[in-house]
């Protein structure tokens, strides 16, 4: 009787994932002991990877819930311990697949992860807002999504995803990405700074090192999609990215107002230098739906920042590269989008039926569903046509 209860408890424990590693705690050597005592009292000791693990509460909640759901269990006594240095080294080796030297898995020839670099000509056009909403939109479709916030001028992505002050857990020198409520994992260059208020001039080799760290030293697991929020313009990050992730595809975010030539120049130059394909343009802050007319059921758009910017950037890039660079979508101005960013609940989640969320979802769907084909390979020359 108690043996089968123990079996059922073990099976239940195998359904509890480590929130950062996203694998069963039973596979990770985190369950130190399980005992059934008397009629239905279960004693479990779970080892955290590091002391003061930020995921402590989540693990406690999930393990309790999993074990309590087992029929015959009347009470759970959960004890949390911490892995020894040796156990941690073992876990690290397990996560590294036994390798000591880490590579950027996304850049490996057989990688199935789609990598999108979100670029813009300048700041403030909504690059980060677009990035986080695309991430959530894709995650909502069941995809495993990671976000790298590589914007050295303002790392707003963690706050927009509701994990503003999160510090990543480290297992030896392996960094765990920060999980969000919505299932997206995130790492920000801001998290690599020793202190929040410390000003770091991310340049050249140091920046390159930080980028490699976010790609190779972070345990991403098997992602379907990796989104990178790039700093605006071109520069050191673009050069590093081209070297380390030549298969990344570029999405350019612009407003209707920006000078098309300039945006295309800045965002497009890096893509062409690095042979990265520009897969499309997102026009953000496209228009403001007129509230009066909307109330009357009519579609009247106020073009606050002018019109046609996205179209012009797309046309300029199409001409320059010789392949079709489409406008992927026009995202309207929406107070809820701004508020969602400020409160850490992106509009895709807070107002999924709003016009802005619907457009963002359709952009996400078309990016995620795009056939990889030649776009995923570095040809070293400009592809002649669109696939």
Ligand X SMILES: Nc1ncnc2c1ncn2[C@@H]1O[C@H](COP(=O)(O)OP(=O)(O)O)[C@@H](O)[C@H]1O
Question: What does the binding site for Zn ion look like in residue numbers (CB under 5 A)?
Answer: 290, 292-293, 300
* Distance of alpha carbon 90 from alpha carbon 223, whole angstroms: 23
Contact pick of 105, 129, 169, 361 for ligand X (by CB under 6 A): 129
Contact pick of 72, 81, 90, 123 for ligand X (by CB under 6 A): 123
Partner interacting with residue 300 (select from ligand X, Mg ion, Zn ion, none; CB below 5-8 Å by kind): Zn ion
Q: For residues 94 and 290, which CB has a smaller minimum distance to ligand X in the complex?
A: 290
Q: Which of residues 139-168 bind ligand X (CB under 6 A)?
A: 156
Answer whether 43's CB lies under 8 Å from 35's CB. Answer: yes
Q: Strands 170-171 and 174-175, how do they pair?
A: antiparallel
Q: Does 240 bind ligand X (CB under 6 A)?
A: no
Q: For residues 12 and 160, which CB has a smaller minimum distance to Mg ion in the complex?
A: 160
User: Which H or E element spans position 283?
Assistant: strand 277-284
Q: Does 125 bind ligand X (CB under 6 A)?
A: yes
Partner interacting with residue 49 (select from Zn ion, Mg ion, ligand X, none; CB below 5-8 Å by kind): none
Q: Count the residues of the shown chain that bind ligand X, applying the rule CB under 6 A.
A: 18
Q: Which of residues 275-334 bind ligand X (CB under 6 A)?
A: 284-285, 331, 333-334
Contact pick of 8, 88, 114, 127 for ligand X (by CB under 6 A): 127
Query: CA neighbours within 13 Å on the CB side: how many for 180?
Result: 27
Q: Does 337 bind ligand X (CB under 6 A)?
A: yes
Q: Does 230 bind ligand X (CB under 6 A)?
A: no
- Closest residue to Mg ion: CB criterion: 128
Closest by CA to 117, choosing from 286, 259, 285, 240, is: 240
Contact pick of 87, 128, 254, 361 for Mg ion (by CB under 5 A): 128
Nearest approach, Cβ of residue 235 and ligand X (Å): 15
Answer whether 187's CB lies under 8 Å from 168's CB. Answer: yes
Partner interacting with residue 331 (select from ligand X, Zn ion, Mg ion, none; CB below 5-8 Å by kind): ligand X
Nearest approach, Cβ of residue 169 and Mg ion (Å): 25
The first and second tokens of residue 113, run together, are 């992860």
What number of other Cβ atoms are within 10 A of residue 100's Cβ?
Answer: 7
Partner interacting with residue 334 (select from Mg ion, ligand X, Zn ion, none; CB below 5-8 Å by kind): ligand X
Which of 156-164, 238-246, 275-283, 330-338 is the region at the interface with Mg ion (rule: CB under 5 A)? Answer: 156-164
Q: Does 354 bind ligand X (CB under 6 A)?
A: no
Which residues of this chain interact with Mg ion, rule CB under 5 A?
Answer: 127-128, 151, 156
Q: Which residues bind ligand X (CB under 6 A)?
A: 120, 123-129, 156, 284-285, 331, 333-334, 337-338, 341, 356
């Amino acid at each position: 009787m108690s043996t089968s209860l123990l079996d059922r408890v073990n099976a239940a424990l195998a359904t509890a994932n480590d929130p950062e590693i996203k694998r069963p705690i039973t596979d990770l050597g985190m369950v130190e002991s399980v005992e059934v005592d008397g009629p239905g009292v279960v004693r479990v000791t779970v080892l955290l990877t590091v002391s003061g693990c930020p995921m402590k509460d989540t693990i406690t909640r999930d393990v309790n819930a999993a074990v309590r759901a087992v029929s015959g269990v009347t009470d759970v006594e959960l004890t949390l311990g911490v892995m020894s240095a040796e156990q941690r080294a073992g876990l690290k080796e397990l996560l590294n697949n036994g390798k000591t030297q880490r590579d950027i898995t996304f850049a490996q020839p057989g990688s199935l992860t789609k990598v999108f670099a979100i670029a813009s000509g300048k700041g403030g056009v909504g690059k980060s807002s677009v990035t986080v909403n695309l991430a959530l939109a894709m995650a909502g479709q069941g995809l495993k999504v990671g976000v790298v916030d590589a914007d050295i001028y303002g790392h707003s992505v963690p706050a927009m995803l509701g994990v503003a002050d999160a510090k990543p857990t480290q297992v030896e020198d392996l960094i765990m990405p920060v999980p969000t409520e919505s299932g997206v994992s995130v790492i920000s260059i801001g998290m690599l700074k020793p202190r929040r208020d410390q000003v770091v001039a991310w340049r050249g080799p140091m920046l390159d090192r930080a980028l490699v760290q976010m790609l190779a030293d972070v345990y991403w697991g098997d992602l379907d999609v990796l989104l990178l929020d790039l700093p605006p313009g071109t520069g050191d990050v673009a050069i590093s990215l081209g070297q380390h992730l030549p298969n990344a595809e570029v999405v350019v975010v612009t407003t209707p107002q920006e000078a098309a030539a300039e945006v295309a120049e800045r965002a497009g130059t890096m893509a062409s230098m690095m042979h990265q394909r520009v897969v499309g343009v997102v026009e953000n802050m496209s228009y403001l739906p007129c509230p009066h007319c909307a109330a009357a059921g009519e579609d009247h758009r106020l073009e606050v920042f002018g019109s046609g910017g996205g179209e012009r950037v797309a046309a300029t890039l199409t001409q320059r590269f010789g392949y079709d660079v489409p406008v992927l979508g026009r995202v309207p101005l929406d107070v809820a989008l701004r508020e969602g960013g400020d409160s850490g609940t992106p509009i895709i989640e807070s107002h999924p039926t709003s016009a802005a969320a619907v457009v963002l979802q359709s952009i996400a769907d078309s990016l995620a569903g795009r056939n990889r084909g030649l776009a995923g390979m570095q040809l070293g020359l400009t592809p002649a046509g669109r696939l």
